[in-house]
Amino acid sequence: MPLLQLSGVSKSYGAEPAVDTLDLSVEDGESLVLLGPSGCGKSTLLRLIAGLEAPDSGRILLDGRDITALPSHRRPVNMMFQSYALFPHLNVRDNIAFGLRREGLATAEIASRTSEAMAMLEIADFAARKPHQLSGGQQQRVALARALVKRPRLLLLDEPLGALDKRLRQQTQAELRRLNRQTGIAFVFVTHDNDEAMALADRIAVMNRGRFRQLDAPRRVYDRPVDRFVASLMCETNLFNAAVESGIGGLVAARSGTLLLHYSADADRPTRGGRQELALRLEQIEISRDPPAPHWVPGPNTASGIITDIDYIGDMTGISVRLDDGQVLKASQLNALHEPLLELDQPVWLSWDADALVPLRAEEA
């Protein structure tokens, strides 16, 4: 039995549905990330699970028990709020003990569990400080301790790293993963940052307009995006709207401009005469400074062109290449230590694997 189960859950504000008949299950101990642009309904979904909003329709089950009508303060689910919502009039210790006091536990137990939580998150030194005397990273830890000390069945985290700088964010990502494994508590994150999603998730649910576009392991979402929305959300990508020419076995030939594209596809994909949208990630393209052969003519999944733009970002170099037919392809490669950097107006030859071309589902209206 899954830990949390949502069936047909909807919530709308006015005419626009924020969450549109969603089904979702979360397993015990799992780390699930809800990923999407702002306004996609991910925060509303989190608030529905927390009980801070009531769904218009649908049911929410926790451990098989229907909690749809259970008020928030009685749900064994806790939330770490975006910008933390620490109580400014209470010190760190009292902030963390707040939830335990509401459970009517013995004073000694409250004290020991509070100390334990502060030790786990290494904030015991600040126990007597007020939130405004803490740095952003310290506040984040207090917020986490305040939620975890309740030993919830499920921890909800609304953009938990949004207020931290990049270095601290990466450090905290690793720590959140550790806490997730160590406590065995299931985590549900909300974020709009795809890197963060991949670093934190066992599974990613990509959301748009109140619906899931794809719910899969991070690697699957990254390597095999189902549609253009998911493909462009996960990373910068080349998109082709190709005319399908022929299909031999699982291999389909299509054309975009003068480019000949060979890709592998399932049987139910459109064949001859149809159009197929394809995604090709930048780092899947092999960049070569010399023609592969002396009298080279472009074949399937190859192209040549001139570099029109270079973006050097340390470990990687991204380039834009104008092909002979005017199409622009983007590509990137890792920088090797002894290789000269690519230059503007330099001619390059590009090639890629048939499996690097990902056929996308046509966008819904």
Partner 1 sequence: MTPRRLGLLALPLLWTAVFVVVPLLLILKISFAEAQLAQPPFTPLFRDGALAAQMGNYSLLLEDALYLRALGNSLLFAGLATLCCLVLGLAIARAVTRAPKGWQPLLLTLIILPFWTSFLIRVYAWIALLKPEGLINAALLGLGIIDTPLVLVNTGFGVVLGMTYSYLPFAILPIYASLAGQSPKLTEAAIDLGATPMKAFWLVTVPLARPGILAAGLMVFIPMVGEFVIPDLLGGSATVMLGQTLWTEFFSNRDWPMASALAVLLTLLLLVPAMTLQRLELGRAAR
- The residues of the shown chain that bind partner 1, judged by CB under 8 A, are 50-52, 71-74, 78-79, 81-83, 85-89, 98-99, 102-103, 146-147, 150
Strand 4-13 with 57-62, pairing: antiparallel
| Ramachandran category for residue 249: left, alpha or beta (phi over 0 → left; psi -120 to 50 → alpha) | left
Give the nearer residue to partner 1 in terms of CB position, either 51 or 210: 51
Sort 290 into a burial class: Cβ within 10 Å, 0-12 / 13-18 / 19+. Answer: exposed
Minimum distance of partner 1 from residue 136's CB (angstroms): 16
Give the nearer residue to partner 1 in terms of CB position, either 120 or 354: 120
Minimum distance of partner 1 from residue 360's CB (angstroms): 38
Give the nearer residue to partner 1 in terms of CB position, either 130 or 211: 130
Minimum distance of partner 1 from residue 33's CB (angstroms): 20
Give the nearer residue to partner 1 in terms of CB position, either 70 or 282: 70
How far apart (Å, rounded) are the C-alpha atoms in residues 337 and 348? 20
**Hey, how many other C-beta atoms are within 10 angstroms of the C-beta on 200?**
26
Bridge partner list, 59: 7
Give the nearer residue to partner 1 in terms of CB position, either 88 or 273: 88
Give the nearer residue to partner 1 in terms of CB position, either 99 or 305: 99
* 24-27 contacts, C-beta under 8 A, 24 or more apart: 24/205, 24/212, 24/215, 26/2, 26/154, 26/186, 26/188, 27/2, 27/3, 27/186
Place of tokens 């004073």: 107
Bridge partner list, 158: 190
Minimum distance of partner 1 from residue 159's CB (angstroms): 12
Minimum distance of partner 1 from residue 158's CB (angstroms): 10
Give the nearer residue to partner 1 in terms of CB position, either 117 or 303: 117
Minimum distance of partner 1 from residue 132's CB (angstroms): 11
Let me know: does 73 contact 86? Beta carbons within 8 Å.
Answer: no
b/e per residue 318-343 (b: at least 16 CB within 10 A): bbebebeeebebbbbbeeeeeeeebe
Minimum distance of partner 1 from residue 47's CB (angstroms): 8
Q: For residue 175, which amino acid is it? A: E
Give the nearer residue to partner 1 in terms of CB position, either 48 or 221: 48
How far apart (Å, rounded) are the C-alpha atoms in residues 337 and 364? 45
How far apart (Å, rounded) are the C-alpha atoms in residues 202 and 180? 11
Minimum distance of partner 1 from residue 148's CB (angstroms): 12
